[in-house]
Chain A
Amino acid sequence: MSASRKSLLALVPVVLVAPPAHAATYLTVEQAQALMFPGETLTPAFRPLSNADVAAIRKASGVSPLSRQLKAWRSARGGWLIVDQVVGKHEFITFAVALDASGAVRSVEIMDYRESYGDQVRNPKWRAQFAGKRNGAALQLDKDIKNISGATLSCRHVIDGVKRLLATYAIVLAG
């Protein structure tokens, strides 16, 4: 191997040992519960998703679940809190959706966001567009939910994530 090639390859370990990204955690699960269901007691109702569940969710929402474990909590008044992830530009975006007893969105919170830009999806006005949406709502970018220029990938993936969780509620939890 030539000296120049050795020199270039010698750089590889330098970049590979660079420190990992620092996670930007905005809400823990406990904080999300307190924020989205203030004063209510939540009971864990985790459950695995079967192959049939995954297929039905994919068919209903057009999006496949990333995890086979549904992280859901039931509120004393019949509401649901679901914590899940969507694909970000480089890492996963962790988000929480609160549903009322009828299955309509009460609120959406971004819990972890680690990307270099696009964190405008944390904007409360943008997230407020999801309030009242139910399974079956089109939730199309720039039609039902406005896009944020410069944060398009994150907007689209969070929209797809909410759409998927509304289908998950209807298929797995509402029954």
Chain B
Amino acid sequence: MTGNRIAIGIAAVATALSTPAMAGEPLFGYVYTTDVMPKGKTEIEQWVTLREDQANGHFHDVKLRTEVEHGITDNFQISGYLNSSYISANRNSVNGTTEGLDIPPAHDPARPYNKFRFDTVSAEMIWRVMSPYKKPFGLAFYVEPEIGPHERAIELKVIAQKNFLDDRLVLAANAFVEFEHEEQDGEVEKATQLEFDAGASYRFRPNWSFGLEYRNHNEFVGYTLGHGSQEHTAHFVGPNIHYGSQKWFFTLSALYQIHAKGYNDEQRDNIVNGRIYGDEHTRWDGIRLKIGRVF
């Protein structure tokens, strides 16, 4: 699938969703808030995430996620996802070969790689235990199991939210751990990801919010979080803009890798100008658009 075909497809979805009057919500591209769908309400979201640029050549990883969310109670929401991706890479690695992030190990590193693939299906459950509209701050717990041809994972997350200025200024923070098992071309990788995310979003005029978000991503070998098994830490920051109204919304965010540190020689070898590439990250990681329709 070419980039233009993807763009046309998304534009068609956006146009279809734009027809009626529009409100829904993710204020951020990556950071979650404690807002959940009210009981009986459903929302459909389409995500497009572009992970862009590695050490050399070109690298484009377009991730697509189609999501349906439904409120079981006013404080418990379930969701289902379909995840796929399109990767176009050529001579992207530190040493100028075509290999690394989501490129199968069996691929000939001397040749370009262009492939669309189905990744996983996943489910998500969010249980809000404190609403920021009734308590001094909001608190929610999140579980996301994920399974696909090459990957199995489970993500556990804590979400906190504090609102100010008549709820127009929203501060949110997340901490999550994800245990993943990947198997591709006979190679098995077991890893644990630990991430801390934070963001601030201000509704500067009706319907429109602008914000900043930050991610600190840490990866560990195996299923332990000890410093001895840590592979790297990476920091990302960037702006976001959100439009929400009665029936639809969109959020656009762009996170840029500002610094990374490797904890073993293999990881350090993939760091250029303070940013880590290889199997791990991209320079823009990533540029994310979410479009949603509330029913």
Mask, B1-45, CB within 8 Å of A = 1, is 001101100110011011101111100000000000011010000
Partner of A115, one of B53, B60, B74, B246: B246
Q: Does B244 contact A (CB under 8 A)?
A: yes
Q: Does A51 contact B (CB under 8 A)?
A: no
Partner of A8, one of B134, B250, B287: B287
CB–CB B21/A21 < 8 A: yes
A2 and B246 in contact, given A10-B7, A21-B22, A156-B134 (Cβ under 8 angstroms): no
Docked Cα-Cα span, A159 to B3, in Å, equals: 50
Mask, B223-254, CB within 8 Å of A = 1, is 00000000000000000000111111010100
CB distance from B274 to the nearest CB of A (A): 22
CB–CB B244/A90 < 8 A: yes
Q: Does B133 contact A (CB under 8 A)?
A: yes
| A contact residues around B206 at 8 Å (CB) | 90-92
CB–CB A156/B244 < 8 A: no
CB distance from A152 to the nearest CB of B (A): 4
Chain A residue nearest to B243 (CB atoms) is A15
Docked Cα-Cα span, A6 to B11, in Å, equals: 13
Between A3, A63, A86, A142, the greatest number of chain B beta carbons within 10 A of the residue's beta carbon is seen for A3
CB–CB A114/B166 < 8 A: no
| A contact residues around B207 at 8 Å (CB) | 20-21, 90-91
Within 8 A of B (CB), among A135-169: 141-142, 147, 149-153, 156-157, 160
Q: Does B107 contact A (CB under 8 A)?
A: no
Mask, A11-54, CB within 8 Å of B = 1, is 11011001111101000000000000000000000000000000
| B contact residues around A15 at 8 Å (CB) | 14, 18, 243, 250, 291
Residues of A bordering B, CB below 8 Å: 2-8, 10-12, 14-15, 18-22, 24, 63, 86-87, 89-92, 114-118, 141-142, 147, 149-153, 156-157, 160
CB–CB B166/A157 < 8 A: yes
Question: What is the number of contacts between chain A and chain B, taking CB atoms within 8 Å?
Answer: 128
| A contact residues around B23 at 8 Å (CB) | 21, 89-90, 114-117
Q: Does B58 contact A (CB under 8 A)?
A: yes
CB distance from A4 to the nearest CB of B (A): 4
| B contact residues around A7 at 8 Å (CB) | 3-4, 6-7
Partner of A11, one of B7, B53, B131: B7
CB–CB A114/B246 < 8 A: yes
CB distance from A119 to the nearest CB of B (A): 10
| A contact residues around B38 at 8 Å (CB) | 117-118, 149-151
List 7 extra interface pairs beyond A8-B287, A90-B23, CB under 8 A.
A2-B53, A4-B60, A4-B88, A5-B50, A14-B11, A21-B207, A87-B167
Chain B residue nearest to A9 (CB atoms) is B287
CB–CB B166/A116 < 8 A: no
Chosen A-B contacts, 28 in total, with CB atoms closer than 8 Å, are: A2-B53, A4-B3, A4-B50, A4-B88, A6-B3, A7-B6, A8-B50, A11-B48, A14-B11, A14-B15, A15-B243, A18-B17, A19-B22, A20-B245, A21-B245, A21-B246, A24-B246, A86-B166, A89-B244, A114-B23, A115-B23, A116-B23, A116-B246, A142-B134, A150-B38, A150-B71, A150-B74, A157-B167
Chain A residue nearest to B246 (CB atoms) is A21
Docked Cα-Cα span, A24 to B74, in Å, equals: 24
CB distance from A1 to the nearest CB of B (A): 10
Chain B residue nearest to A18 (CB atoms) is B18
Q: Does B52 contact A (CB under 8 A)?
A: yes
CB–CB B134/A4 < 8 A: no
Q: Does B168 contact A (CB under 8 A)?
A: yes
Q: Does B171 contact A (CB under 8 A)?
A: no
Docked Cα-Cα span, A19 to B207, in Å, equals: 12
Docked Cα-Cα span, A86 to B39, in Å, equals: 24
| B contact residues around A10 at 8 Å (CB) | 7, 11
| B contact residues around A151 at 8 Å (CB) | 38
Docked Cα-Cα span, A12 to B166, in Å, equals: 29
Docked Cα-Cα span, A18 to B39, in Å, equals: 28
CB distance from B249 to the nearest CB of A (A): 8
CB distance from B135 to the nearest CB of A (A): 10
Chain B residue nearest to A116 (CB atoms) is B23
A18 and B248 in contact, given A116-B23, A150-B39, A157-B166 (Cβ under 8 angstroms): yes
CB–CB B291/A152 < 8 A: no
